[in-house]
Structure 1
């Protein structure tokens, strides 16, 4: 066909003359490249991209321009603060005819990491960490935050104390008339009775958000995750044998924590970051509801629903 194809977004005038804060696309499938110290992998992401539309008479933006820029970026660039800023700047430049001055990007993906077992040599498995990257360029002011969700186990200190009391009472009942007890007898009793009562524990999750400056070359996903897991002491495991399960039980016993304890531990571990935001949630096994704590307001980002 030799005739020019119509483009009503250009030729037609908006019937209602009003500027719009953001216009673009949501849920775009995209391969991305994460290249950081100790980690290089192509991952699948969902991307939201938008620009502002301050020109009230413009009927519509150019979605295909945004898509092509995003597609090229996902194919050619690693995800880093400089490359993200460059993408946002290109998005603004591509819409000069719409008077656009701002752009934003929301990226959701799972960081897939292979983790070793606690004890068994050569045993490991894959663990995914949901990541949300939120970036904006508003009137040439760049903002970027990274949010990671990290799974861990939490054992209730109160429940542990109550369980110990029951075991103590049962022990005294069993040996109240025996002034002298040899260690072998005590060990045998403990083997049979130490689980008369057990503290409740549950899978838990921490959401951590930090701001990152454009001068930083790497987003530091793994360093952030490792810091949080080390602070909590009980990251969920992948492949385990009995020795690893026993070691995990020991970690839980040595890291009894309320939801308040978990939030404070993470907060203390992230002192190098400016105003880190932390939200922890214990998916209670005692209650049908969750326990939660925040060490900061955990503000909604500009791209969050």
Structure 2
């Protein structure tokens, strides 16, 4: 087609044609859009790779389709280097709805997924540290004028079973009594030597475990508070998984596990108690059992229900 025959106006089927079947749709949009996001928190500022889902409602039954390029361009502007805030997300959702006034859209929602990289020091060894990744999900909506923004973080930790620890201690106790049953008295060095060689005759089972914690974010907050939330959860649990370690750090981690024996119920309650002041916290914890081929799980939610997995 040469320049003289090229049409001056490109067709827009979403406007020129009516939907062949008239019905309203709850959500229409896109998923899996790559973009850079800047997370700016106290003591942390970094540009991260995020994946975004954006949708608006389509209440007008005759409209054939929404304008996805408009949503994409609005989302693209979010990667301008400014720190992500709840207020900024609210304005973005407003702009989504305004961009679809001709579709009569009234509701909008956004989901952002990214991994937050944090530098974590070793427990004991001076100057030793490594990177740990924390999966983050932000879900925000503006529906009938009501704005909601919630953040979910995933924290990985170690859990040692209290029941297994008690059973192991009993076996060690029995072995000790059997060894020294006929001796009227014991020298402390003799006892220490026995412990050194026999205290692991039975060991409790531990497992890598996961805490998925979701909280509401106040629009007036200057930051999303992601780092503070992660630190709160890890301090409550006491046994976050480590990055770079030497033997002294591994020994310190073993001591933390011994001091923080927990069932999945204990872990959920610890986290719940630590989240005082957070808006509508939801907790899902999962212990990837080393004893069983299945997992142990627990939920805590402000509303009665099954919760989300």
State the partner residue of 2:99.
94
State the partner residue of 1:258.
263
State the partner residue of 1:142.
147
- Post-superposition shift, 1:288? 0.3
Q: Does 1:247 align with 2:249?
A: no
Alignment of 1:57-72 (within 5 A): 57-72=62-77
State the partner residue of 1:274.
279
Aligned partner of 2:203 among 173, 198, 209? 198
State the partner residue of 2:173.
168
State the partner residue of 2:54.
49
Compared CA separation, residues 36 and 90, structure 1 to 2 (3 A): same
Taking the aligned partners of 1:164 and 1:98, their CA distance within structure 2 comes to 68
Contact 2:238 2:260 in 1 (8 A): yes
- Post-superposition shift, 1:286? 0.3
State the partner residue of 1:6.
11
State the partner residue of 1:120.
125
State the partner residue of 1:295.
300
**5+ long unaligned stretches in structure 2:** none
Q: TM-score, normalised by structure 1?
A: 0.96
Contact 1:279 1:294 in 2 (8 A): yes
| SS state at 1:172 partner | helix
Q: TM-score, normalised by structure 2?
A: 0.95
Contact 1:283 1:289 in 2 (8 A): yes
State the partner residue of 1:233.
238
- Post-superposition shift, 1:179? 1.1
State the partner residue of 2:44.
39
Superposed CA deviations along residues 138-172 of structure 1, whole A, max 9, x for unmatched, are: 12210010000100000000000000000000001
Taking the aligned partners of 1:28 and 1:148, their CA distance within structure 2 comes to 20
Contact 1:77 1:83 in 2 (8 A): no
Taking the aligned partners of 2:275 and 2:67, their CA distance within structure 1 comes to 41
- Post-superposition shift, 1:17? 1.1
Taking the aligned partners of 2:246 and 2:155, their CA distance within structure 1 comes to 22
- Post-superposition shift, 1:19? 1.0
State the partner residue of 1:107.
112
- Post-superposition shift, 1:53? 0.8
- Post-superposition shift, 1:299? 7.3
Superposed CA deviations along residues 95-139 of structure 1, whole A, max 9, x for unmatched, are: 111111111000111111110000001110000111110000112
Contact 1:111 1:128 in 2 (8 A): yes
Superposed CA deviations along residues 176-224 of structure 1, whole A, max 9, x for unmatched, are: 1111111111111111000000000000000100011212221100100
State the partner residue of 2:186.
181
Size of the aligned set, in residue pairs, is: 303
Contact 2:47 2:81 in 1 (8 A): no
